[in-house]
Amino acid sequence: MVGLALITPPHCDRMSSQHLSGTLTIDPEPKLVSVPDLVADSQVARAHHAAPHRPTITVVIPTLNEAENLRYVLEKLPAMVSEVVIVDGQSTDGTVAVALAARPDARIVYQDGKGKGNALMCGFRAATGEITVMLDADGSTDPAEIPRFVAALTNGYDFAKGTRFMTGGGSVDITPFRRFGNRCLTSIVNRIWHVKYSDLCYGYNAFWTRCAPTVVGCSGFEIETMMNIRLADSATRVIEVPSVEACRLHGASHLRVGRDGLRVFRTIMAEWVRPC
């Protein structure tokens, strides 16, 4: 394994597809890289630099009546997180008060539309950290995994895409029907855009804020799909990071399998015919 030095991410202009999904182009023959390798290489790099640059990190958390879950999520955030942006969709259960009680320095942003997609776009605009991390408020995405996403980014990637379906990842929440649907939709995207995604519909991602994906007119759970397609259709350097999805802690999910699955499929078709 070749030791890696921390490098500054390249400018992310839209150009020919160059999806790298788990490979580094340091050597003439790219080598597969696991996240543990990336973490180890980051430690090697730190050992060779007296004062390595530590990027500032913003965590964006969309909320809608998540008071029972949010305290748990905020309390588990690692110390490396420098900013928390709570994007609230007009909660009526005291979510904002819980957020400020658990994290007094949290920035509260009220979304200007409806749906998860709109909430994330509001959060991305508000983020001031060099790295932005997308995190769910229901406890299903583990804040303790943030360092592995950051390790991928500080080793030269622009976008660290979470996946439940590679070694080290998993899910105790996804149903067989949802797993089958995700696999089918992922296969369609892989075939059309010539990529090798293992998970299309997972919302745990991190990226250099300067490379924030632009997704206009996408308000619902299909936002992850649109982001992944836009990434595949750009020069953004992408790596998949294994992640374990837990069950929602309290309350009912806002996801509706049939409705949202259809929206994802429609998004794929719309992106397929969208002019470059």
Dihedral angle computed from the Cα positions of residues 134, 137, 138 and 142, in that order, rounded to the nearest 10 degrees: 50
CA nearest to 11, candidates 212, 210, 153: 210
Residue 81: domain span: 23-273
Residues facing 24 on adjacent strands: 31
Tell whether the model's pLDDT for residue 257 goes beyond 80.
no
User: Regarding predicted confidence, which is higher, 174 or 40?
Assistant: 174
Confirm whether 255 is domain-assigned: yes
Tell whether the model's pLDDT for residue 258 goes beyond 70.
no
Angle, to 10 degrees, between the axis of helix 257-273 and the axis of helix 223-232?
Answer: 30
Mean pLDDT, the chain, rounded, equals 82
- Calculate ∠ Cα 229-230-233, nearest 5°: 90
Number of structural domains found in the chain: 1
Tell whether the model's pLDDT for residue 27 goes beyond 50.
no
pTM, entire model: 0.78
Confirm whether 142 is domain-assigned: yes
Tell whether the model's pLDDT for residue 120 goes beyond 50.
yes
Confirm whether 3 is domain-assigned: no
Residue 220: which residues within 8 A CB-CB, separation 6 or more? 115, 116, 117, 260, 263
Confirm whether 154 is domain-assigned: yes
Residue 260 to residues 116, 143, 167, 226: CA-CA distances in angstroms? 12, 25, 27, 13
Q: 29 pLDDT band (50/70/90 cuts)?
A: very low
CATH number, domain with residue 153: 3.90.550.10
CA atoms within 13 A on the CB side of 266: 10
- pLDDT tens-digit readout, 82-115: 999 999 999 999 999 999 999 999 999 999 998 8
Confirm whether 95 is domain-assigned: yes
Confirm whether 245 is domain-assigned: yes
